[in-house]
Amino acid sequence: MMKILDRAFSWLLIAPVILPVVIWGGFIYPYLVPKTLLFYALTLLAIAVFVILVTHGKKFFWTRLAQWEAWVPGALLVLAYVASWRGIDFYRSFWSLFVRGDGLLMLTCAVASFYLILLSADEKFYQRLFRAVAVVASFVALSGVGEWLMSGGRIGGLLGNAAFFAGYLGVALFATLLAAAGLSGWWRRAALGGAALQVIAVILSATRGTILALGLALVASLAYFSFKKSKAAQVALGLLIILGASFFALRAELAKVPFEPIARIATISTADPDVASRLFIWKNMLSEIQKASLLGIGAEHIDVLFNRFYDPMQISEQWFDRSHNAFIDYAAQYGVGGLLLYLALIGSFFNIAAREARRGDRSRALLIGLLALTYAVQNFFVFDTISSFWLLLAVLAALLAHSQKSVAPEALSFPLWTRGLSYLVALMLLTFIGTTSIRPALAAADLMEAYKYQLTDPTKEVSDLSHGVALLTYADVEYGYEAYDMYTNVQNAALTGAAKVNAYQAARSILTNNFNRYPYDARTALYLAQILSIAPSGVSIDEGVLSSALERAIILSPKRYQSWYVLANLSISQANAYPAKSPERAAGYAAAHDILTKYISLVPKLAQPYFVLAQLEYASGDAATAATTAAKGKAAYVSDLETAKRAAVYYETVRDLPNAAFFLTEVVRLEPGNTAAAGDLEKIKTYEQSQH
């Protein structure tokens, strides 16, 4: 029995290598959720087997724990728990979200996996791990290249996201090269070919952070060999410098090249919208971090900080839960100590590289140093997923084990009764798999089913949502987000009668529960307010809950226009209950006008609210003021679909055909499939031609 468990234990430690290729279409987030849930199950199973083996006398390399690098992941984990316990909400910190899977549970499993590898890895395991990574990473790269050949554009491969795809390969590439160092003949050439394929895949992903990181790694390696008097390296480095200077000089023209990797790199500047947005986020994140610099805000609450300074003029994406800079993320979540430990984690690789160099293995030392450099640079622009973070810790553990391969394993002494207890502990760990993996998998599958039947069978959709929520998993927040999306964007317009009422009530119920449970979540507050504001005809709403939701949404994220629009629309709808030209209607419109004016004062350069206000002023009978307000909106207009739609509606309403044609042209350009806008634009052109 122990021999079987011993053999299985080794494979369980390597099994997470396959995570990047694990997807399942039955999940609402098929590229990430299956990976994290499987990782939890594999880690718990490995820990269970370890408990049995250690109490039954199996020998492990306990003296490896004496290295200072071995304590860095554990210290980071302890600090993460302390910071999260003192933070905003420990429950959310522990479980994270389905779409992210990056909370304390993931960190715990990753660190546990690190220590299990460190304590058990021998030379055979070391070679097997790196070769397995080489095979899987090459397959992942091949799938990405195939995706590019079929569809072009940025590729996400089996990770579903270009940045995640490139970030994983940025680590796996050097693991593949380390594997090649231990091979010979055709196997070595095959590993090097796989590494080349991974580089190609990173380039095709057009992920600028990883491409820049690999470029710096190339420069560093050429500089190293140039210092060693290699003529070929010196020539290559010189050519690379000339190529880089030429690229910089011609980047305005290269930005027009129809090859996204070149075009995206050529557009890097502070004027680039993506770059400007990132810089704005980093600047404001640093300001927020200073308010809780000691212990941070706990894991998985970066969105709370982001919502405080969100500005639609500076940030194109509505909802961020990462700053797209791992160093800032660690500082925000775990304070200065978290940042220092994360730096120490990366520094561990450089220290191991120096150790290998002193032993004379300079090629291995160079690869380890380049791995650390690449990871550090790319994570200045992105963040980890389970695939890249586990791989980083697994490689670190294997390298630490390899650097002390002369150390002999030894067994710890335990009383005989602990052997029986170990089976009980193992059983408890296996039972916990149901909570961490099986029930969340069922909840994700229920959510997928709900999406599938949102129009064809709303009764089943509501039943699936109810069943998924009843599983009591950490999917509750995302259930609210997805129920909102289904109702507001699809069901509100497509359903009628009882089906629409049932869909509304299901979404409202989930969001209301989340609103009460997570008072820090601006997104839930806003979504609840929006759901309540578009309740089906005849369904009464709780005005107190609506007001509370709007108040909280504005407090938590003051510059989001949706909350202000709902608040203004609420005043307008209440005013419309009174006769035209009545004092009550005029007062309601005036209140809405004050709300919109107050919001415009917060974001004076945002075009959209000017057109909303102009529409209100025109409806109030003040056409002259409306025209002036709309002119301010047009002057502030920056290409944006939603703003163009609102502006087109206003100008069509007031029959300002030239301006209506301008914004309808924008709508058609930004949304080519909008046949209604194209039809209106054609009518205006036909009318103008008839007038001439």
Half-sphere exposure of 32 (CA within 13 A, CB side): 19
Q: What is the mean pLDDT of residues 39-67?
A: 94
Which helix (H) or strand (E) is 657 found in, with range? helix 657-670
Sign of the dihedral defined by the CA atoms of residues 615, 620, 623, 628, in that order: negative
According to the model, what pLDDT value does residue 261 have?
A: 85
For 262-314, write each residue's pLDDT tens digit: 888 888 877 778 888 899 999 999 999 999 889 999 999 999 999 999 999 98
Report residue 60: phi and psi, to 5°: -130, 165
Residue of 672, 670, 671, 663 lying closest to 684 (CA atoms): 663
Radius of gyration over alpha carbons of the chain, in Å?
29
| pLDDT at residue 72, as a whole number | 97
Mean per-residue pLDDT for 414-423?
A: 85
Provide long-range contacts, Cβ within 8 A and 24+ apart, for 388-391. 388/164, 388/167, 388/168, 388/170, 388/171, 389/106, 389/110, 390/16, 390/19, 390/39, 390/110, 390/113, 391/17, 391/133, 391/168, 391/171, 391/172, 391/175
Could you tell me where the DSSP H helices lie in 56-161? 72-85, 90-95, 104-120, 123-151
**Could you tell me the pLDDT band of residue 692, with boundaries at 50, 70 and 90?**
low
Q: What is the pLDDT of residue 152?
A: 81
Q: CB 567: neighbour CB atoms within 10 A?
A: 23
270 or 341: which leads in pLDDT? 341
Nearest to 556 by CA among 305, 235, 252: 305
Distance between CA atoms of residues 573 and 3, nearest Å: 74
* Spatial contact of 193 and 201, defined as CB atoms under 8 Å apart: no
Which of 227-236, 247-256, 354-363, 470-479 shows the highest mean pLDDT?
Answer: 470-479
Average pLDDT (492-496) is 93
Distances (CA, A) of 239 to 199, 236, 245, 337: 20, 5, 10, 42
Residue 70 CA to residue 62 CA, distance in Å, equals: 11
Reported as a single tens digit per residue, the pLDDT across 154-198 is 899 899 899 999 999 999 999 999 999 989 999 999 999 999 999
219/241 Cα distance (integer angstroms): 9
Tell me if 185 sits within 8 A of 163, measured CB to CB. Answer: no
Look up residue 335 and give its two tokens: 């304070």
The secondary structure of residue 31, as a DSSP letter, is T
Q: What per-residue confidence (pLDDT) applies to 574?
A: 86
Contact in structure between 9 and 50 (CB atoms under 8 Å): yes
Eight-class DSSP state of 438? I
Section 82-109 average pLDDT: 95
Residue with more model confidence, 293 or 247: 293
Structural domain boundaries in the chain? 59-403, 619-692
Cα–Cα distance, 81 to 111 (Å, whole number): 13
Q: Are 408 and 42 in contact (CB under 8 A)?
A: no
**Angle subtended at Cα 181 by Cα 179 and Cα 183, rounded to the nearest 5 degrees:** 75
Cα-flanking dihedrals φ and ψ of residue 650, to 5°?
A: -60, -50
Quote the tokens at residue 306. Answer: 């982001």
**DSSP label at residue 295:** T
**Under 8 Å between Cβ of 48 and 429:** yes
- The mean-pLDDT minimum among 17-26, 204-213, 254-263, 522-531 falls in 254-263
Q: Is 320 exposed, middle or buried (0-12, 13-18, 19+ CB in 10 A)?
A: middle
The token pair that represents 71 in the structure block? 């304590």
- Does residue 33 contact residue 101 with C-beta atoms inside 8 Å? yes
Looking at the domain covering 619-692, what would its CATH class be? Answer: mainly alpha
Residue 646 banded pLDDT, cuts 50, 70, 90:
very high
Residue 680, helix vs strand vs coil = helix
Judge if pTM exceeds 0.95: no
pLDDT number for residue 228 = 82
How confident is the model at residue 412, as a pLDDT?
Answer: 84
Burial class (CB in 10 A: 0-12, 13-18, 19+), 661: buried
**538-589, pLDDT tens digit by residue?**
898 888 999 999 999 999 999 999 999 999 998 988 888 888 888 888 899 8
Buried b (16+ CB within 10 A) or exposed e, 107-129: bbbbbbbbbbbbbbbeeebbbbb
d(CA 385, CA 9): 24
**Assigned token pair, 392:** 């980083």
pLDDT of residue 227: 86
Q: Is the pLDDT of residue 339 over 80?
A: yes
What count of residues does the chain have? Answer: 692
Q: What gap in Å lies between CA 440 and CA 442, rounded to an integer?
A: 5
Distances (CA, A) of 333 to 287, 315, 338: 14, 21, 8
Task: Give the mean pLDDT of the chain.
Answer: 92
Q: In the structure encoding, which two tokens stand for residue 9, read together?
A: 């234990």
- Assign 3-state DSSP to the chain and report helix, strand, coil percentages, each to 5: 75, 0, 25
As a whole-number percent, the residues of the chain with pLDDT over 90 amount to 74
Using a 10 angstrom Cβ sphere, with 0-12 exposed, 13-18 middle and 19 or more buried, the burial of residue 650 is: buried
Task: Tell how far CA 501 is from the center of its chain.
Answer: 33
Both tokens of 241, joined, read 């410098």
pLDDT confidence of residue 257: 79
Please count the other Cβ atoms lying within 10 Å of the Cβ belonging to residue 489: 11
Give the residue-averaged pLDDT of 582-609: 92
Percentage of the chain lying above the pLDDT 70 cut: 100
Q: At which residue do the structure tokens 């194209």 appear?
A: 678
**How many whole angstroms separate alpha carbon 571 and alpha carbon 589?**
7
Which 3 state secondary structure label does DSSP give 317? coil
pLDDT digit string (tens) for 403-412? 887 778 888 8
pLDDT of residue 266: 82
